[in-house]
Amino acid sequence: MIWIRLLLTGLCSVGLTGSIAYLCTLLAPKIMGKEEPYLLLAWQKFCLVLYWLPLPFAALCLSRIRFSSDGYLWVLGEFTTGMTPAIYVGCQIGGIVWIAGFAVIMVYTLWKELCVRLALRGNVPAGDGPYLQIFESYKEKYEVENVTLLWNDMLSSPVTYVRGRGRRRAYFIVLPMEGERYPEKQFRMIVAHEMNHIVNHSLGWRKFGLMTVLLHWFNPLAHLQLDQLVCWDEILCDLQACDNSPWYSRREYSECLAEFSDGGVANTFTTSLVGTKSQTLRRIMMMSKVKQLTKTSKWVIAASCLALTAAALAPVSVVVAKGAQLQEEAVAAEEVALCSADAFAVADEETMSYDDTGVEEIELNIGAQLHTDTVDLGSTIADGKRILYHYRSMKSGNSIGVSVNCSDSSVTYRIGIKNRDKNYIKYVDVSGAASHTFSIDEDGVYSVFVENNSGKEISVSGSANYFD
């Protein structure tokens, strides 16, 4: 469950980074006093990328890693290693909720894709005619070869979709069957708009946005951000389609948008000339607001994206560090509670001997040189078995505190430490819930163990703390 806790913490950290950057994109146009479609669309894409870059989380984990002079890896603190029963249950519930939400949204997404595929089964190739000649001229203009024009009597508005990958990628622009009777101006508007989607790689970014939403389904801002990405993508394609067009004016293009209706086929896997009524109205308003489409410099986009990153990472780093501290404090507080005299009996009779008992040992994480301050001892142990847990280098004068609780308080079992270099053990025989602190008499590599000689299988929980 440590990995589930770290996963949920990481998702929250990157989600917070992307969300803050997105909120900055909403404020920036008000500060600038104008809306730049190229710049705003680039910001939406970059914010989605930030949902995948665990920069504060990675920095937090890496800052806790140390290398000793003997080449061993040390992990400081309990943020990346500590678990207690209460936190275990919380992480289990959180993991189940996240997986359940992910599954529900995935099923809904696949259902929408199935609806699209069923509707597109009615596609038929466009026959020879003047419209096909116009279509071929636009292919040449936009330098796009792998695109095909199709008709479909199940659609009420044009859509574009893609099939295949790499060199086999093929795009399809699908028009309603009545499109054969479209005025030439409308046909040119539709083809220009959809060609811009292909050139701008709109479908690839929308699928990337969908994957982001699936991962961060619990974050409402991620859903809003995907909607914003789609909206600005449509606005930019509208403006590009009208830019210096000799065939139609912006007013005629806006009237065309108002005429079409959303047939319910468009989703993240397709682009459509029209969307919701509110989105269409916004696009029409932008047609009148942006008098001249000017492409934003790549240097301006790069510099502004760096500024977005800095604005988002600064507060997120503070929040993530505080969250890690609270988790460590929660782990430590519960360990103190578990180790209190009310919860555990303190074992005093310590035995030391060379390990020649012949007990079968089961070593967890064989070969893993993972050094932690706290080790989770939760295990189910068969009769006649000894579980050896994570190990680390200790020096003379150090100590190891072991706190264990057995599910069956009637049995007697053994807790102890083993010097892995010289093969001797220290142990105490206990029952029920017990704790003991073992002092380290000489330098070496030590492993905590729990041994079962009760005659039946037992389940134990607890933790071991290494004190330098």
**458 is in which domain, residue-wise?**
345-467
pLDDT at 272: 67
Q: Do 35 and 179 lie in a common domain?
A: no
Residue 426 contacts residue 438 (beta carbons within 8 Å): yes
Q: Is the entire prediction scored with pTM above 0.85?
A: no
CATH code assigned at 388: 2.60.120.380
Nearest of 182, 227, 262 to residue 191 by alpha carbon: 182
Q: Kindly state whether residue 90 falls inside one of the protein's structural domains.
A: no
Same domain for 325 and 381, yes or no, is: no
- Burial of residue 340 (CB within 10 Å: 0-12, 13-18, 19+) is exposed
362 and 322 in a single domain? The answer is: no
Position 94 in a domain: no
Look-up: residue for tokens 């510099």? Answer: 303
92 assigned to some structural domain: no
386/396 Cα distance (integer angstroms): 25
Give me the number of domains the chain comprises.
3
89 inside domain: no
237 and 325 housed in the same domain: no
> Of 189, 296, 176, 181, which Cα lies nearest the Cα of 232?
296
Any domain includes 103: no
State whether 350 and 462 are in the same domain.
yes
112 in a structural domain: no
pLDDT reported for residue 341: 44
Residue 338 lies in a domain: no
Q: Are residues 127 and 231 in the same domain?
A: yes
Residue 391's Cα: distance from chain center in Å?
A: 32
Are 132 and 41 spatial neighbours (Cβ–Cβ below 8 Å)? no
Same domain, 351 and 438: yes
Please check whether residues 285 and 354 belong to one and the same domain: no
Residues 267 and 324 in one domain: no
Together in a domain, 183 and 252: yes
Would residue 167 count as lying in a domain?
yes
In this structure, what token pair is assigned to residue 311? 């604005």
Asked if residue 260 and residue 201 are part of one domain, the reply reads yes
Measured from the Cβ of residue 208, the count of other Cβ atoms closer than 10 Å reads 19
Position 101 scores a pLDDT of 94
Per-residue pLDDT of the chain (468 residues; tens, 9 = 90+): 677 888 888 889 999 999 999 999 988 877 777 778 899 999 999 999 999 998 888 888 888 777 766 666 666 666 776 666 677 778 888 889 999 999 999 999 899 888 888 888 888 887 777 788 888 999 999 988 889 998 888 777 788 888 887 778 889 888 887 655 678 888 899 899 999 999 999 989 999 999 999 999 999 999 999 989 988 998 999 999 988 888 988 888 888 887 765 544 455 667 766 666 777 788 888 888 887 788 888 999 999 999 999 999 999 999 988 888 887 777 766 655 555 544 445 555 778 777 766 788 888 764 444 445 678 888 889 988 999 887 788 888 888 888 888 888 888 899 999 988 888 888 998 888 888 888 888 888 888 999 998 888 998 888 888 877
Q: pLDDT value at position 369?
A: 45
Q: Which of 377, 460, 376, 462 is nearest to 413 (CA)?
A: 460
Residues 152 and 248 in one domain: yes
